[in-house]
Amino acid sequence: MSKKVLTLVSMIVVLAMLLSACGGSKPAAAPTQAPAAGQAQPTQAPAAEKATLKVLVHQNPPMVEFMNTFNEKFQAKYPNLTVDMSVVNANDLSTVTQTRLTANDVDVVGMFGFANAAQPYMKNVTPPNWQSLIDAGLMMDISDQPFIKNYDEATIKDAGTYNGKVYGINLGRVSYSGIFYNKDLFTANNVKVPTTWDELVAACEAFKKANIPCMTAGGKDGWPIFVGAYGLIGAEYPDQAKLVQGLWDGSIKWNDAKALEMWNKMKVYAQDMMESGASGIAGDAAPGRFASGAVAMFPGGTWYGPAIEAAQPSFEWGYIPWPGSNNPDDNKHLFGKYDQGWAVADKTPNKDAAMKYLTEFSDPANYQAFANAVGFIPTQPGATLGTKIGKEVAPYLANFLVGYEQYWVAPKGAGQYANPYASYFKPFGTYDDPKELADKVQADLQSGLDANK
């Protein structure tokens, strides 16, 4: 009997060990991988050792295409290094970044330029993700890396520095307050490229009469609808840092006369300018829809430029700042942000490989090829705006301003409508009356401001 008991106990112990092994979480590092310098590990691996470098980027087709080519070149130069690149939807980047950094399952992370930091006038706000990741010690201080010097100082300071240390290199600025327009359709329908709001309205009416949808956007992803109208905010509030401060201190309200003008225009944008069915177009598919020649205009970020070119190389298009005001001088600004950048996981066992990767990427020739492929406004001083989109935005670069959403942090307790989003209007949202919506947006914001007093 005791023999049977012993057998049973042994089986249970084995089973329990198997189960606990299933639940175990070890870093994915291969035994041959190098420990990070500056970490507690004993030595740094020689470069000749084999390692797999895990890289995470968000979905941006021209960038992904470039990265695939770059990775091949990198692997050819460093045969012992393999790049394992994951691509995720932009909406999921922060979630995947957090989980993979936490699990020590990534080495190099694609990260947007640092933004949305809490300002002194903001009370009781949650820090942005990037700040939490740095505070938690998950991102590596790369201040001393030689490749930092390849980028302009302002970019390093504004988009990759926190508490005096550099944690990210930013690869380019983008504007999201412009409109792509189809040159052939404008010419064929005898429509002038608009420089004022009234001209834009007239242009859309002319296209509608010709049975041509005026504008399209990747509404399925949600944000392209409201981001497409950010230029309308800019036309009313060129200094968007001041706008955010004004909203927090109450000197600016989303339902005052000036804002109401913006809401009226947003209604026209959502209901009269945007083509019906735009809510079903995926963000990635929108450039193709525009390049097909089916629609006259495509409000969106400069990052779409290469995708439009790739979809239809012979397609003739231009890019203009949103003519949101009837004063042409108000419409000369381009609002935008620091886009994609690189950061390194602090716990990476492949620090040497990661630094080689960023050094190689930051090489001026490689960086120029990247800027050409992706259409970003370069952040390396020596790089040129040789792309089509680069040439289109060049006349407005002196008027480039960081946009509202890069400064905005909502107070806790604010309602879900506390944003200047054109997508609140039908058919994308539920509102029809600009005044009613303006009051709702301000009430939702005020509710949060009051709750934190």
d(CA 175, CA 337): 7
Query: Given the rule CB under 8 A, which of 27-35, 120-128, 264-272, 396-404 is the region that contacts other proteins?
Result: 120-128
Q: Which is nearer to other proteins, 137 or 381 (CB)?
A: 137
CB of residue 38 vs other proteins: minimum separation in angstroms?
A: 16
Identity of the residue, 59 or 326, whose beta carbon is nearer to other proteins in the bound complex:
59
- The answer to whether 289 touches 295, Cβ cutoff 8 Å, is yes
The strand pairing partners of 84, in sequence order, are 54
7-19 burial, b if ≥16 CB within 10 A, otherwise e? eeeeeeeeeeeee
Q: Establish if 451 lies at the interface with other proteins (CB under 8 A).
A: yes
The residue whose two tokens read 């809490």 is 118
DSSP β-bridge partners for residue 182: 317
Of residues 211-270, which lie at the interface with other proteins (CB under 8 A)? 219-223
- Which secondary-structure segment (H or E) carries 35? none
CB of 347 to other proteins, least distance (A): 9
Residues 29-88 that bind other proteins (CB under 8 A): 58
What distance in Å separates the CA atoms of residue 287 and residue 308, rounded to the nearest whole number?
A: 5
The 10 Å Cβ neighbour count of residue 432 is 11
Residue 107 · residue 354 · CB < 8 Å:
yes
Q: Does 126 bind other proteins (CB under 8 A)?
A: yes
State the number of binding residues for other proteins (CB under 8 A). 72
User: Does 8 contact other proteins by CB under 8 A?
Assistant: yes
Of residues 82 and 89, the one with the C-beta less far from other proteins: 89
- Residue 292 found at the interface with other proteins (CB under 8 A): no
- Binder of other proteins out of 51, 55, 281, 291 (CB under 8 A): 281
CB of 16 to other proteins, least distance (A): 6
**Smaller CB separation from other proteins, 126 or 384:** 126
CB of 307 to other proteins, least distance (A): 18
CA–centroid distance for 45 within its chain: 34
CB of 230 to other proteins, least distance (A): 12
Task: By CB under 8 A, name the one of 163, 211, 276, 314 that touches other proteins.
Answer: 276
SS3 150: helix
Binding of other proteins by 430 (CB under 8 A): yes
* Cβ 75 to other proteins shortest distance, Å: 29
State the binding string over 370-409 for other proteins (x if CB under 8 A, else -).
-----------------------------------xx---
Which tokens is 92 given?
């999921």
Sign of CA dihedral 33, 36, 37, 43: negative
Residue 43 buriedness (CB in 10 A; 0-12 / 13-18 / 19+): exposed
Which of 417, 420, 422, 437 lies at the binding interface for other proteins (CB under 8 A)? 417
| CB closer to other proteins, 280 vs 381 | 280
Least CB distance from residue 284 to other proteins, whole Å?
13
Residue reference for tokens 């709001």? 197
Q: Is 115 in the site for other proteins (CB under 8 A)?
A: yes
Q: Are strands 400-402 and 161-162 parallel, antiparallel or unpaired?
A: unpaired
Residue given tokens 């790369």 in the structure block: 142
